């Protein structure tokens, strides 16, 4: 099972076909889109990928899940009034190969200041509570998207980051907060890129395409001896991806029980 997550920047208006070309090259079974604000763009990308999709629009930004598998159930948690950040879409997909998997498409508040991290901690606590029953049952599931947060093992050179991040780094006492990703790790989620390539997880960037200094986009998996099932993980940094959005897409491949 191949999963890709992509922040397509302000709805992707005028860039649907380049975005679709990048995603076609990933050969994904499941695609999560954040900042998916424009229904026409989501529909165009899904049509190019020949995927079914669900589009959540109640949050501060849109989120979409595209799938080659049947989409059985969906919940737009922002529509329920939950303080989940920018968006939280939950969907259950089903395949004769992969069985049923629950996928959470996450988009947390942005910003590198300490106050932003505190806000993300509150938002992630709601996300973790939403998926708590899956963890209690050790039910395999995914949390994917733009967490706008940095891993504790990431090496960040502020000079490679965008100017606003450099300003935050100075204001924070020359550091970037790392607590949100640590919360996920403490809850038992596995960072797919770190599981297969710790060096890339520490040094590679998904944001921004112009100032590639941070990795804020993740695919986390939980349950079913998750780490042993991750066979590949990557950040797609080809030339077209550099210009199609301000984020690079991230992907992972997981072996599923048959």
Q: Is 147 helix (H, G, I), strand (E, B) or coil?
A: coil
* 77/209 Cα distance (integer angstroms): 29
Q: Render pLDDT for 41-83 as a digit per residue (tens, 0 to 9).
A: 999 999 999 999 999 999 999 999 999 999 999 999 999 999 9
**Is the distance from CB of 3 to CB of 32 less than 8 angstroms?**
yes
User: How much is the pLDDT for 21?
Assistant: 97
Q: Is 166 helix (H, G, I), strand (E, B) or coil?
A: helix
With a CB cutoff of 8 Å and minimum separation 6, the contacts of 191 are: 151, 181, 184, 185, 201, 218, 219, 220
* 45/6 Cα distance (integer angstroms): 12
Q: Render pLDDT for 213-222 as a digit per residue (tens, 0 to 9).
A: 999 999 999 9
Mean pLDDT of all residues in 115-144: 97
Mean pLDDT of all residues in 191-208: 98
Mean pLDDT of all residues in 179-187: 98
Cis peptide before 117 (omega within 30 of 0): no
Residue 169 Rama label (left phi>0; alpha psi -120 to 50; beta): alpha
Q: Binning pLDDT at 50, 70 and 90, where does residue 227 land?
A: low
Tokens for 28, please give them.
């994904």
Q: Is 101 helix (H, G, I), strand (E, B) or coil?
A: strand
What is the average pLDDT value for the chain, to the nearest integer? 96
> What's the chain's length in residues?
258
Rg (CA), the chain: 17
Report whether pLDDT(225) > 90. no
* 224/128 Cα distance (integer angstroms): 18
User: How much is the pLDDT for 257?
Assistant: 66
User: How much is the pLDDT for 61?
Assistant: 98
Q: Render pLDDT for 159-170 as a digit per residue (tens, 0 to 9).
A: 999 999 999 999
Q: In what order do the strands lie in the sheet with 190-191?
A: 70-76, 87-95, 99-107, 141-146, 217-222, 190-191
With a CB cutoff of 8 Å and minimum separation 6, the contacts of 117 are: 149, 177, 179, 180
Q: Render pLDDT for 12-49 as a digit per residue (tens, 0 to 9).
A: 999 999 999 999 999 999 999 999 999 999 999 999 99
User: How much is the pLDDT for 258?
Assistant: 53
Report whether pLDDT(248) > 90. yes
Q: Binning pLDDT at 50, 70 and 90, where does residue 240 land?
A: very high
């Amino acid at each position: 099972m191949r999963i890709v997550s992509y922040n397509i920047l302000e709805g992707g208006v005028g860039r649907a076909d380049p975005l679709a070309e990048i995603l076609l090259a990933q050969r994904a079974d499941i695609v999560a889109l954040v900042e998916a604000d424009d229904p026409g763009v989501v529909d165009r990308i899904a049509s190019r990928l020949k995927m079914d999709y669900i589009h959540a629009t109640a949050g501060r930004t849109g989120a979409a899940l595209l799938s080659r598998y049947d989409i059985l159930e969906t919940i737009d948690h922002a529509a329920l009034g939950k303080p989940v950040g920018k968006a939280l879409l939950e969907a259950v997909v089903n395949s004769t190969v992969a069985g049923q998997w629950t996928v959470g498409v996450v988009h947390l508040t942005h910003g590198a200041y300490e106050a932003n991290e505190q806000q993300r901690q509150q938002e992630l606590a709601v996300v973790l509570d939403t998926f708590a029953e899956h963890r209690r049952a050790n039910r395999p599931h995914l949390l994917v998207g733009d967490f706008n947060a940095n891993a504790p093992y990431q090496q960040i050179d502020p000079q490679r980051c965008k100017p606003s991040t450099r300003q935050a780094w100075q204001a924070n006492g020359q550091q970037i907060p790392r607590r949100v990703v640590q919360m996920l790790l403490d809850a038992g989620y596995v960072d797919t890129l770190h599981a297969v390539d710790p060096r890339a997880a520490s040094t590679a960037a998904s944001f921004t395409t112009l100032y590639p200094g941070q990795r804020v986009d993740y695919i986390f998996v939980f349950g079913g001896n998750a780490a042993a099932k991750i066979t590949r993980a990557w950040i797609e940094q080809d030339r077209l991806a550099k210009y199609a959005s301000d984020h690079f897409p991230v992907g992972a491949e997981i072996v599923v029980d048959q």
